[in-house]
């Protein structure tokens, strides 16, 4: 028998070409679609976290945030990877620089206010790779200092800053990124910052920490509350804001109680205490000091009475300044000034207290200024206040050598106010443990416990 001729490969391909086309066509189409997808796209992972796509082949992205506070201007530069984790900039996890005075000190010269940011801008741009500068957002968040100036004056300064960044900066600028933060934004960003650094985001609200941030012009409180408490939140009288902000973070929905108290930051509170009445306010001033206190364009008499400062009388003045008895809360417990306290709960049990609380504690000597975080109790502020009040200026200088000359006349007042704010304002127990925080350790590095990181996370998530 003759052996059948073996079919060649080309002959087989011709015979099966229909089958081959059916198999290859879908593969080709899928490959073509993937080729067309932009590489800089933003997506959300299965857990609700934001994934940043590569842009121009880079796996890192930067954000520059200016904190334009009442006591000074500060710039923060952050670097993020694709998973929105903070990455080192040199040997540190962020660039942080600051200078005084703040923008509100230039109320009569908006251009000079804007130009005061030049050295900070140059520092920030120097750490951003040149090829990424036009992709790097720069935001300016002004806080209580500009809020207190009024809309007309603050808008002139903000416009001058917008023009300054447009002309002088190589970074990505949008007009809406230069604004006055309302207090609730500031408080919410601070809460996000600290809980992000502690690794709490994505956990239940009971596993997060509450935050009190004492700035120069305002003080913010923020903590996560239960959904049932959020549903019972009252409406703020002016109708312009709410007590509760819903946030979606790391696949978890949080109901954030947040409120900002304008005029109750540490520097503003000095003016409020001195306004209560001349005698009571002066009772906080150490013997030997004769002068005046300037805040937000106003000047207040701040000369000591002949007996010097008095802890008890200063406490009375501080309590009156908080207006804890008016207006009263009609149906829910309040903090002070008729403000709802959020209902308390697990999200408030662990309280992190930042900014001027840490600074005064370090200057008063009951916190090591070299440590980034410390456990204290409100009673520690009371004890320090009792040591400071009653001293004349010379004695106070010897007893508290860490306090600068500009703050020394107000040390008794500041410590009394901080204790009064915690106990009579926010309703804490004097023996309750709280955490004073200046920086938080994140991946064996220290990061400033300030709202700009929360703002950076927001802008990077939306870019």
Q: Are 124 and 64 in contact (CB under 8 A)?
A: yes
Token output for 74: 């500060």
| C-alpha to C-alpha distance for 184 and 242, rounded to whole angstroms | 9
| C-alpha to C-alpha distance for 143 and 140, rounded to whole angstroms | 10
Q: Are 140 and 450 in contact (CB under 8 A)?
A: no
Q: How far, CA to CA in Å, does 374 sit from each of 93, 359, 380?
A: 21, 12, 12
**Could you confirm whether 186 is annotated as catalytic?**
yes
| C-alpha to C-alpha distance for 428 and 121, rounded to whole angstroms | 40
Contacts of 251 (CB under 8 A, 6+ apart): 47, 48, 49, 202
Pairing type for strands 434-437 and 351-355 reads parallel
Contacts of 208 (CB under 8 A, 6+ apart): 191, 195, 200, 201, 223, 224, 254, 347
Catalytic residue selected from 125, 186, 363, 382? 186
Helix (H) or strand (E) holding 348: helix 346-349
Helix (H) or strand (E) holding 95: strand 95-99
Helix/strand/coil for 439: strand
Helix (H) or strand (E) holding 220: strand 218-225
Nearest CA among 410, 436, 221 for reference residue 318: 410
Helix (H) or strand (E) holding 373: strand 373-376
Q: How many Cα neighbours within 13 Å face the side chain of 271?
A: 18
**Between the CA atoms of 207, 212, 213 and 215, what dihedral angle is there, to the nearest 10 degrees?**
180
| C-alpha to C-alpha distance for 450 and 463, rounded to whole angstroms | 22
Query: Which of the residues are catalytic?
Result: 186
């Amino acid at each position: 028998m003759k052996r059948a001729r073996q079919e060649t490969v080309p002959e087989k391909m011709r015979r099966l070409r229909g089958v081959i086309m059916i198999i290859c066509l879908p593969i080709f189409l899928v490959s073509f679609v993937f080729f067309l997808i932009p590489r800089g796209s933003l997506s959300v992972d299965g857990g609700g976290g934001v994934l940043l796509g590569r842009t121009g082949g880079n796996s890192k992205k930067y954000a520059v945030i200016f904190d334009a506070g009442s006591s000074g201007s500060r710039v923060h530069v952050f670097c993020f990877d694709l998973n929105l984790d903070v990455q080192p900039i040199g040997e540190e996890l962020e660039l942080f620089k600051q200078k005084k005075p703040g923008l509100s000190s230039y109320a009569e010269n908006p251009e000079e206010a804007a130009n005061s940011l030049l050295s900070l801008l140059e520092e920030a741009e120097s750490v951003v790779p040149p090829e990424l500068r036009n992709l790097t957002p720069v935001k300016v968040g002004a806080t209580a200092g500009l809020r207190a100036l009024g809309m007309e004056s603050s808008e002139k300064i903000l416009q001058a800053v917008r023009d300054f960044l447009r002309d002088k900066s190589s970074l990505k600028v949008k007009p809406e990124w230069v604004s006055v933060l309302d207090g609730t934004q500031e408080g919410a960003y601070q809460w996000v910052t600290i809980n992000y650094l502690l690794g709490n985001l994505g956990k239940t609200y009971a596993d997060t920490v509450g935050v009190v941030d004492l700035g120069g012009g305002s003080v913010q409180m923020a903590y996560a509350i239960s959904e049932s408490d959020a549903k019972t939140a009252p409406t703020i009288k002016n109708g312009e804001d709410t007590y509760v902000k819903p946030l979606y973070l790391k696949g978890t929905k949080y109901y954030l109680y947040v409120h900002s108290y304008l005029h109750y930051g540490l520097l503003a509170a000095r003016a409020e205490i001195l306004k209560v009445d001349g005698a009571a306010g002066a009772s906080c001033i150490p013997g030997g000091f004769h002068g005046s206190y300037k805040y937000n364009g106003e000047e207040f008499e701040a000369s000591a009475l002949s007996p010097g400062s008095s802890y008890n009388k200063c406490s009375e003045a501080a309590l009156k300044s908080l207006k804890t008895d008016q207006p009263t809360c009609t149906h829910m417990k309040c903090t002070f000034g008729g403000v709802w306290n959020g209902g308390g709960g697990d999200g408030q049990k662990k309280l992190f207290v930042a900014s001027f609380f840490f600074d005064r504690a370090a200057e008063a000597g009951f916190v090591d200024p070299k440590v980034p975080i410390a456990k204290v109790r409100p009673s520690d502020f009371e004890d320090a206040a009792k040591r400071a009040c009653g001293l004349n200026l010379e004695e106070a200088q010897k007893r508290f050598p860490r306090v600068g000359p500009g703050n020394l006349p107000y040390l008794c007042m500041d410590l009394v106010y901080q204790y009064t704010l915690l106990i009579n304002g926010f309703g804490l127990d004097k023996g309750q443990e709280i955490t004073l925080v200046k920086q938080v350790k994140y991946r064996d590095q220290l990061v400033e416990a300030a709202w700009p990181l929360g703002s950076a996370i927001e802008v990077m998530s939306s870019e």
